[in-house]
Amino acid sequence: MMHLITKFENLKIQLGAIKLATDNFADENCIGRGGFGKVYKGELVHSKGQKIVVALKRLDPKFGQGNPEFWKEIIMLSIYKHENIVSLLGFCDESNEKILVYEYASRRSLDSYLNRDDLTWNQRLQICIGAARGLAYLHNPGGTQQRVLHRDIKSSNILLDENWNAKILDLGLSKFAPANQQHTFLVTNVVGTLGYCDPLYIETGLLTKESDVYSFGVVLFEVLCGRLCISNKNGIHQSLTGLVRHYYPQNKMSDLIYSNIKDGMNPRSLDAFITIAYMCLKRDLEERPLMADVLRILESALEYQNHDKKVEIMQREGYSSSQSDYYRLKVIATLTNGENFHSSDIVTSIEFNHDDKLFATAGVSRRINIFDYSTMVNEPSELRFPLVEMPTRSKLSCLSWNKHTKNHIASSDYEGIVTIWDVNTRQGVMEFKEHNKRAWSVDFSHLESSMLVSGGDDHKQESSVINIKMSANICSVKYNPGSSNHIAVGSADHYIYYYDIRNISYPLNIFIGHQKSVSHVKFLSNDELASASTDSTLCLWDVTRNIPVQKLKGHANYLNFVGLSVYRDFLACGSETNEVYVYHKAMSKPLTWHRFETLNVEDSDKDRGSDFVSAVCWKSDSPTMLAANSRGLVKVLVLAP
């Protein structure tokens, strides 16, 4: 032990100075107590002769923290320095006294503020973000330093300074672990605090970084609900995590939220917070997020809260609430998919090729049809035969033209097969059988003609046969137009995942805001992403900052995939009202819309009512789009003043 004392000699403080600072440990200077002893407030003379206010933790051996824990905390706090970890100023180890001297956090610990009315939702978010930053640093400090597993994360171990900055306390029970590994397991004697301790750790004795994540999730729900994780009501112990597990699946979390902060909450902020907090409590370690991702989602929740007001883009660009009065969708051509060329019913995908001269349709008809766009708009006939017709073995879900090779188009089908077709030879030239269930989506890279990505019901996303296993069905995948390494994934679990395929261990960003499956994702630019969901909304996201930009509502979409396409600042999607809608990205309401007529006058009202617009696609060089519906009707529409 002498080598440790020598190494940290510069931090040693004489017992006499500490007794003087605390008036010989007077009760009036005691500001806290716990399972280690007592904490005192005092004034010490700094090395530069200035007096500073400090917190002094006086360890009591009978409470279990002895020499190993004492020196471990000195070592840890000397090595791991971060603005969200409490700073060690010194220590005393003489006359059987073991005292740790910390920077003083004037607002003391978080647990004393949980049910304070003056602690706003915004402040609570910032405190949680600060604590998450500190814990994320301990888990991945960078460089050659080892990972630190705290083992006792709780609200009383999170201090608050005068500016409400959170600082993690008490590393005496922590453990070193190998860094830069996805999974770290240590077999240890179980320590921690009742209510916060990971049940899996208690059962197995296996300590992981996910054990800290679980404890942090408990703290998040304490902050949200304004109560400690274990409470005594009418002589009965009540577990907050037990209540959360009961109310969350029933979508009744509002019954648990601290009533005094409800009115000031942005709904998307609350949704993001609850979602990530509940993920922390997952039984399966694999389903718990990394602290870096907890931090990212909490920062998104704060962004939601701070962006509660409407985006100012509309005013800056000169758009007004009556802008929709000056736009309409004009029909310039119609194509009836008749039995003459064996096409029928739902068109699930419609796509222009790279120079907008050809477009392709596909769906439940088990064939890909290629049309000449110029012929369609210049010849006055509704019933046209395709230039090329390619039969397929299964119903098709999605098409994607190669952005560089005019005659190549990819399809994904209901059997999970992705096929690359040569339009000239009308033959499939390559097949990928990586999915074992329906493949919903396929997309060629904008930059690399040989790269494509697909996703489907088997929870797998494939990129040039790189397999990313997801926790839910994948509905849509798209390459970022500026990178062949970055992809967006729309999932049935309501989230959008943004990956760098060079490191698939965890997504770069997770976008939270939809209430149901994310059916489509599309990039407006390298930095801006649009998404569509069966919650009847479109969302815009800033990819680089992981923040929401706008939510667009007006169309109806609850059951079917109705398409999504973007052109400059305009977005188009279908609707289950058999209409196609156009939005401007700065406006939350539709700019204009167009209704498809019923083809068969003998159809019943029920049949007509079930029609919906199923696919849309803008041309790249003009405000002109293709739109198709569940009857196989295709229209060319132009957005005109």
Q: What is the pLDDT of residue 496?
A: 94
- 174/146 Cα distance (integer angstroms): 12
Q: Is the dihedral of CA 332, 336, 340, 344 positive or negative?
A: positive
Q: Which segment, 372-376, 487-491, 548-552, is predicted with the most confidence on average?
A: 487-491
Q: What's the pLDDT at 343?
A: 41
pLDDT at 340: 38
How far, CA to CA in Å, does 511 sit from each of 174, 299, 309, 518?
32, 11, 19, 11
Q: How far is CA 58 from CA 39, 44, 152, 496, 640, in A?
A: 6, 15, 18, 49, 76
Residue type, 188: T
Task: Please say whether the beta carbons of 582 and 572 come within 8 A.
Answer: yes
**Rounded distance, CA 482 to CA 500, Å?**
13
Q: In this predicted structure, what is the pLDDT of residue 606?
A: 45
Nearest by Cα to 435 from 416, 414, 454, 407: 416
Residue 601, pLDDT > 80, answer no
- Where does the pLDDT of residue 335 fall: very low under 50, low under 70, confident under 90, or very high at 90 and above? confident
Q: Give pTM, 2 decimals.
A: 0.59
Residue 151 has pLDDT above 50, yes or no: yes
Mean pLDDT value across residues 381-401: 88
Whether pLDDT at 317 is above 50: no
The 3-state DSSP class for residue 131 equals helix
Question: pLDDT by residue (tens digit) across 488-526?
Answer: 999 999 999 999 998 888 889 999 989 899 999 999 999
- The C-alpha atoms of residue 561 and residue 517 are separated, in whole angstroms, by 10
The DSSP H or E segment spanning 306 is helix 291-306
Q: Is the pLDDT of residue 615 over 90?
A: yes
Residue 324: the pLDDT is: 42
Q: How far apart are CA 450 and CA 466, in angstroms?
A: 14
* Alpha carbon distance 408, 609 (integer Å): 37
Q: What is the pLDDT of residue 640?
A: 82
How far apart (Å, rounded) are the C-alpha atoms in residues 58 and 38?
6
Contact between residue 150 and residue 207 where contact means Cβ atoms under 8 Å apart: no
Provide the greatest CA pair distance for the chain: 101
Query: CB–CB of 512/272 below 8 Å?
Result: yes
For residue 269, give every residue at least 6 positions away whose Cβ sits within 8 Å of its Cβ, in sequence order, or none: 121, 125, 301, 302, 304, 305, 308
The mean of the pLDDT values for the chain is: 84
Answer yes or no: is 606 a known binding residue. no
Which residues in 288-306 are b (16+ Cβ under 10 Å) and which e?
A: bbbbebbbbbbbbbbbbbe
What pLDDT, on the 0 to 100 scale, is given for residue 464? 52
Evaluate if residue 8 carries a pLDDT over 60. Answer: yes
- For residue 422, give the amino acid letter: D
Does the pLDDT at position 607 exceed 70? no
> What is the percentage of the chain residues whose pLDDT exceeds 90?
48
Beta bridge partners of 520: 532
Residue 176 pLDDT grade (very low, low, confident, very high; cuts 50, 70, 90): low
Burial 394-419 (b: 16+ CB within 10 A, else e): bbbbbbbbbbebebbbbbbbbebbbb
The per-residue pLDDT for range 89-113, each reduced to its tens digit, is 889 988 888 999 988 988 989 999 9
Q: Which of 126-135, 148-157, 366-375, 601-610 has the highest mean pLDDT?
A: 126-135
The pLDDT of residue 535 is: 92
pLDDT-based confidence at 316, cuts 50/70/90? very low
Task: Give per-residue pLDDT as tens, 551-583.
Answer: 899 999 988 889 999 998 899 999 998 999 999
Say whether pLDDT at 604 is over 70. no
**Could you give the CA distance from residue 74 to residue 101 in angstroms, rounded to a whole number?**
10
